[in-house]
Chain A
Amino acid sequence: MSSLTSLDGLAAKPERAASGTRLAVRRFLRNRLAVVGLGVVVFFVLFCFVGPLLYSTDQTHTLLQQVNQSPSGAHWLGTDAVGHDELGRLMYGGKVSLIVGLSAGVLATVIGTLWGAAAGYAGGWIDAVMMRVVDAGIAIPALFILLVVSAITTPDLTGLVLILGLISWLVPSRLVRAETLTLKNRDFVLTLRAIGGTHARAIIRHILPNSVSTVIVAATFQIADAILLVAYVSYLGLGVQPPSTDWGGMLSSGMTAAYSGYWWLIVPPGLAIILVVWAFNAIGDGLRDAFDVRGRA
Chain B
Amino acid sequence: MSAVRPPAAPATGGHILELDDLGVVFTTETGTVQAVRGVSLSVAPGETLALVGESGSGKSTVALAAMGLLAGNARATGTAVVDGTDIVGADEEQLSGLRGSTVSMVFQEPATALDPLTRVGKQIAEVIRNHRRISAADAAARAVELLRRVGIPEPEQRARSYPFQLSGGQRQRVVIAMAIANEPALLIADEPTTALDVTVQAEILDLLRRLAAETGTGVLLVTHNMGVVADFADRVAVMYQGAIVETGPVEDVLLRPTHDYTRRLLSAVPRLTVAESGAPGQSGEPGASGASGASGERRADEPGAAPGGEPAVELKDVSVVFGRGKQAVHALKGVSFAVHPGETLGLVGESGSGKSTASRVALGLITPTAGSVTLFGADLAATRARARRALRAGIGVVLQDPVASLDARMTVGECVAEPLRIHRRKLSGRERESLVADVLDRVRLPREVARRAPRELSGGQRQRVSLARALVLEPRLLVADEPTSALDVSVQQAVLEVIGELQEELGFACLFVSHDLAVVQQFARRVVVMRAGRAEEQGLTSATLLHPETDYTRRLLAAVPVPDPVVQRGRRAERLATLAAGRTEEQG
Seen from chain A, the residues whose Cβ lies within 8 Å of a Cβ on chain B are 1, 3-5, 7-10, 13-20, 23, 26-27, 186-188, 190-198, 201, 205-206, 209-210, 212, 293, 296-297
Q: How far, in angstroms, from A18 to B449 measured CA to CA in the complex?
A: 15
Q: How far, in angstroms, from A186 to B397 measured CA to CA in the complex?
A: 14
Q: Can you give 8 A-B contacts (C-beta < 8 A)?
A: A1-B293, A3-B264, A7-B264, A13-B448, A14-B461, A23-B30, A190-B397, A192-B418
- A14 engages B393 (CB within 8 Å): no
Contacts of A10 in B (CB 8 A): 444-445, 460-461, 494
- A194 engages B455 (CB within 8 Å): no
Known: A1-B497, A188-B405, A188-B406. A197 touches B364 (CB 8 A): no
Contacts of B419 in A (CB 8 A): 195
**Taking the nearest CB of chain B, how far is it from the CB of A257, in angstroms?**
53
Q: How far, in angstroms, from A293 to B409 measured CA to CA in the complex?
A: 12
- A18 engages B264 (CB within 8 Å): no
**Taking the nearest CB of chain B, how far is it from the CB of A10, in angstroms?**
7
Q: How far, in angstroms, from A17 to B455 measured CA to CA in the complex?
A: 8
Pick from B30, B406, B415, B491: contact of A7, CB below 8 A: B491
- Cβ-closest chain B residue relative to A26: B29
- A4 engages B268 (CB within 8 Å): yes
Contacts of B460 in A (CB 8 A): 8-10
- B405 engages A209 (CB within 8 Å): no
Q: Which 3 residue pairs are nearest across A and B when measured between Cβ atoms?
A: A196-B392, A196-B389, A187-B405
- A14 engages B408 (CB within 8 Å): no
- Cβ-closest chain B residue relative to A186: B404
Contacts of B479 in A (CB 8 A): 194
- Cβ-closest chain B residue relative to A3: B264
Known: A17-B455, A187-B405. A4 touches B396 (CB 8 A): no
Known: A1-B497, A4-B494. A194 touches B364 (CB 8 A): yes
- B456 engages A15 (CB within 8 Å): yes
B441 within 8 A of A: no
B317 within 8 A of A: no
- B397 engages A191 (CB within 8 Å): yes
- Cβ-closest chain A residue relative to B475: A195
- B399 engages A17 (CB within 8 Å): no
- B392 engages A297 (CB within 8 Å): no
Q: How far, in angstroms, from A7 to B54 measured CA to CA in the complex?
A: 10
Instruction: List 14 additional contacts besides A17-B456, A210-B408; criterion CB under 8 Å.
Output: A1-B293, A10-B460, A13-B448, A14-B461, A17-B453, A26-B29, A188-B415, A191-B469, A193-B365, A196-B388, A197-B418, A205-B418, A209-B409, A297-B403
- B389 engages A8 (CB within 8 Å): no
B407 within 8 A of A: yes
Contacts of A193 in B (CB 8 A): 365
- Cβ-closest chain A residue relative to B363: A194
Pick from B392, B401, B409, B444: contact of A187, CB below 8 A: B401
Q: How far, in angstroms, from A18 to B455 measured CA to CA in the complex?
A: 10
Pick from A14, A190, A210: contact of B365, CB below 8 A: A190
Known: A8-B491, A193-B365, A209-B409. A18 touches B401 (CB 8 A): no
